[in-house]
């Protein structure tokens, strides 16, 4: 990765974690695009509004924690994407993933799991065997997916949440921090508590 140039889109807090992950691998990060921030992060220049003509041969990561915004930005990004996998993470050789993913510090992905595109597996999150994690999902720090769990596109699984084996979480749902999910959760639902219960349904 050291010889591959990489750009980031997003200059907020999540970008700092992704940048740290990349720099720890010796990656050559040549710029961060974010119109809301100026200056530098860890010595890497913030370049303002995204320009597909700048560093056109670089690969990109959308380092934005908000799933919907990450999807929007990915859709208008002209660069090809790359994954980042921290050296402390464990990713089974019998699992697979797409592109643009962020597999961060201390996370674990067990055997025969499928990870989509532009997914965040955040600090210390665990994904057990035979899970499916669709595009634009964010597993927050310490989240736990037991075996054979399916997470739909764009869903946020909050910090420390646990989903027991075999359950399916729909698309664009939110599982609150610390929730324990013992039943399937439909699309766009917000579920919190132990055991998790649905408190509202979001408008698509």
- Partners of 99 in beta bridges: none
For the cut 80, the answer to whether the pLDDT of residue 40 exceeds it is yes
- Is residue 200 situated within a structural domain? no
pLDDT of residue 84: 96
Over residues 79-100, the mean pLDDT reads 97
The pair of structure tokens assigned to 141 is 């720090």
Confidence tier at 204 by pLDDT (50, 70, 90): confident
Range of the domain at 140: 84-193
- Is residue 129 situated within a structural domain? yes
Mean pLDDT of the chain: 95
Catalytic residue among 14, 118, 126, 129: 129
pLDDT of residue 1: 57
Instruction: Supply the DSSP string of 44-99, one letter for each residue.
Output: EEB--S--TTTTTTSEEEE--S-HHHHHHHHHT--S-B--EE-TT-EE-TT-EE-S
Does 129 participate in catalysis according to the annotation?
yes
pLDDT of residue 4: 82
- Is residue 58 situated within a structural domain? yes
- Is residue 47 situated within a structural domain? yes
The bridge status of strand 197-201 relative to strand 189-192 is antiparallel
Q: Which of 50, 75, 100 is the last residue of a domain?
A: 75
Cis-peptide into 195, omega within 30 deg: yes
Same domain, yes or no, for 20 and 60?
yes
- Is residue 119 situated within a structural domain? yes
Q: Which helix (DSSP H) or strand (DSSP E) does residue 26 occupy?
A: none
Number of domains the chain is built from: 2
d(CA 143, CA 124): 7
pLDDT, tens digit, 9 for 90 and up, residues 104-120: 999 999 999 999 999 99
For the cut 90, the answer to whether the pLDDT of residue 38 exceeds it is no
- Is residue 201 situated within a structural domain? no
pLDDT of residue 2: 57
The CATH number assigned to the domain holding 130 equals: 2.160.10.10
Interacting residues of 28 by C-beta distance below 8 A, sequence separation 6+: 2, 3, 4, 5, 6
For the cut 80, the answer to whether the pLDDT of residue 92 exceeds it is yes
The CATH number assigned to the domain holding 23 equals: 3.40.50.20
- Is residue 199 situated within a structural domain? no
- Is residue 176 situated within a structural domain? yes
Same domain, yes or no, for 185 and 101?
yes
How many helices and strands in the chain, by DSSP H and E? Answer: 2, 24
DSSP state, 165? T
């Amino acid at each position: 990765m050291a010889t591959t140039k990489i750009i980031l889109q997003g200059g907020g807090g999540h970008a700092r974690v992704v940048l740290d992950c990349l720099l720890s691998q010796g990656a050559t990060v040549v710029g961060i695009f974010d119109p809301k921030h100026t200056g530098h992060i860890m010595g890497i220049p913030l370049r303002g509004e995204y320009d597909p003509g700048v560093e056109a041969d670089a690969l990109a990561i959308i380092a934005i924690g908000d799933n919907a915004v990450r999807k929007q930005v990915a859709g208008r990004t002209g660069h090809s994407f790359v994954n980042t996998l921290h050296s402390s993470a464990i990713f089974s050789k019998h699992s697979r993933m797409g592109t643009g993913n962020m597999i961060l510090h201390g996370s674990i992905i067990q055997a025969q799991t499928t990870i989509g595109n532009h997914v965040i597996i955040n600090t210390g999150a665990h994904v057990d065997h035979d899970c499916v994690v669709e595009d634009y999902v964010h597993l927050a720090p310490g989240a736990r997916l037991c075996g054979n769990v399916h997470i739909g596109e764009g869903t946020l699984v909050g910090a420390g949440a646990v989903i027991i084996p075999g359950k399916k979480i729909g698309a664009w749902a939110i599982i609150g921090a610390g929730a324990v999910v013992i039943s399937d959760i439909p699309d766009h639902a917000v579920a919190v508590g132990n055991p998790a219960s649905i408190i509202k349904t979001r408008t698509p």
